[in-house]
Chains A and B, each alone.
Chain A
């Protein structure tokens, strides 16, 4: 074994050097210019860089460490305290207050079988939100949902009263409950120091180091606020935070079990054209099968373009309909 000084040098020198070109590129990507300090200014170039970063991050999560991403697991996880969680909430709220995007991927399994995969893009501009969601299920054609919330008014792109697909302005009082996703900023807002977050590793994406924070007690996070991406108890909650304490990506999973029955034809009674589960006579219920159904959901939310120039406005033409959503 070489002397200690040589070993230390080998350890340090194994980290690739930073070139002048890399420093210049880094400065350019955030709009840095000679003689002025502008790291906090997020211009279009920075937004584009952010999009690339997040795309890489999303790919990394899916592909377990390929491309330009590097991931390291530390030997001993480091807990963070309530003040750190508060810092993350404050920084993320500030960074996402104006505008940005969230890429959402959700999968739902029932009793171990894939039920559906949702892939959505949510754009937020203040309180206005635009959503595009593609839902795919095994053995079925995928379909998409497009909706928009502008100045508290709900719009959905769907078949209207005339049968043609068009933008509908749903004027019903509860129309906003039909949004495909809730405001994506509500997801990270659920983090709670009671969940005992700890830093379990880091990943580097295009030169930016993200901290991986995992909840040791995910059940302490209110899953209801994550619906419909989660139901029941949370089984995991992990977030990746950038050097400015802004959440760039989070993943969470949930599981719920309930008693459910499947009925055969003998259990159903036709009441005016509506199939209803019958209760009498008892022998007709022989084919009903009841048992626990376990639904497992997992979701990945990746933020990008924070503070960029995304705008969400009402559709130029929309048909007023009450209660369409």
Chain B
């Protein structure tokens, strides 16, 4: 039996609550991580993702009841990301047959504005709807579409490639 000194200082979470959170993370994390890496780069984007999910755990009761928890956590991550001075860096994966990446892609992505990167990554690469990105960022869908088109044009110019939009 634990002594009084060693007893937990706060009640442990109930197992069903942890299970709910784990289930939420499984669904929300890839979308959140994709959006935050698009804006902040590999390391900082992951850091922002982890930070926002830790926040979600701390405020689980509120987050679980939201209509748009990913949009909410996206804004939490932005407000809590204090690494504004850190350069945006995309770390390329190790070369493999399945994951071949043009060497110039990280720098070309970095050259886009954050809004353009977000639209290009989420809509073009991950298949989000323009409306979903608009809901995430709180802007009009036409604005997202504009960012997408300009971003793709600039990215292709940088890479010298032609792709199907």
- Cβ-based interface call for A140 (8 A): no
Chain A residues 161-214 with CB under 8 Å of chain B are 199, 202, 204, 207-209, 211, 213
Chain A residues 1-29 with CB under 8 Å of chain B are 1-24, 26-27
Residues of B within 8 A of A21 (CB): 22
Q: Besides the contacts A11-B93, A16-B46, A202-B89, what 9 more A-B pairs have beta carbons closer than 8 Å?
A: A1-B102, A4-B161, A5-B124, A11-B109, A23-B25, A24-B57, A27-B57, A70-B43, A202-B87
In angstroms, Cα B44 to Cα A74, docked, is 13
- Name the interface size band of chain A: 35 or more
Question: Which of B18, B47, B105 contacts A11, CB < 8 Å?
Answer: B105
Contact A9 B100 (CB under 8 A): no
Chain B residues 110-165 with CB under 8 Å of chain A are 120-121, 124-126, 155-156, 159, 161, 163-164
Binding site for A on B (CB under 8 A): 10, 13, 18, 21-22, 24-26, 29-30, 33-34, 37-38, 42-47, 49-51, 53-61, 80-83, 85-87, 89-94, 98-102, 105-107, 109, 120-121, 124-126, 155-156, 159, 161, 163-164
Residues of A within 8 A of B54 (CB): 23-24, 26-27, 30, 32
Contact B21 A24 (CB under 8 A): yes
Q: Which of A35-43, A101-109, A226-234 contacts B (4 or more CB under 8 A)?
A: A35-43
Contact A8 B105 (CB under 8 A): yes
Contact A18 B46 (CB under 8 A): yes
Q: Which of B26, B29, B42, B156 has the most CB of A within 10 A?
A: B42
Contact B58 A37 (CB under 8 A): yes
Can you list 18 A-B contacts (CB < 8 A)? A2-B100, A3-B164, A4-B155, A4-B163, A10-B101, A11-B105, A12-B37, A12-B125, A18-B49, A22-B50, A24-B18, A24-B54, A30-B54, A37-B59, A78-B87, A80-B85, A209-B86, A211-B85
Q: How far is the CB of A117 from chain B (nearest CB, A)?
A: 33
Residues of B within 8 A of A286 (CB): none
The answer to whether residues A23 and B53 also contact, given A4-B159, A11-B92, A18-B29 and a CB cut-off of 8 A, is yes
In the A-B complex, the 7 residue pairs with the closest CB atoms: A14-B93, A23-B53, A8-B125, A10-B99, A20-B25, A20-B22, A26-B54
In angstroms, Cα B124 to Cα A9, docked, is 10
In angstroms, Cα B102 to Cα A189, docked, is 44
Residues of B within 8 A of A38 (CB): 58
Residues of B within 8 A of A76 (CB): 87
Residues of B within 8 A of A266 (CB): none
The answer to whether residues A32 and B57 also contact, given A7-B100, A15-B37 and a CB cut-off of 8 A, is yes
Q: How far is the CB of A236 from chain B (nearest CB, A)?
A: 20
- Cβ-based interface call for A275 (8 A): no
Contact B92 A14 (CB under 8 A): yes
Contact A4 B109 (CB under 8 A): no
- Of chain A, the residue at the smallest CB distance from B25 is A20
Interface string of A95-139 (1 = CB under 8 A from B): 000000000000000000000000000000000000000000000
Contact B50 A11 (CB under 8 A): no
- Cβ-based interface call for A244 (8 A): yes
The answer to whether residues A4 and B124 also contact, given A19-B25, A211-B86 and a CB cut-off of 8 A, is yes
In angstroms, Cα B53 to Cα A213, docked, is 28
Contact A5 B53 (CB under 8 A): no
Contact A12 B82 (CB under 8 A): no
In angstroms, Cα B89 to Cα A77, docked, is 11
Contact B57 A8 (CB under 8 A): no
Q: How far is the CB of B81 from chain A (nearest CB, A)?
A: 7
The answer to whether residues A211 and B109 also contact, given A18-B33, A72-B89 and a CB cut-off of 8 A, is no
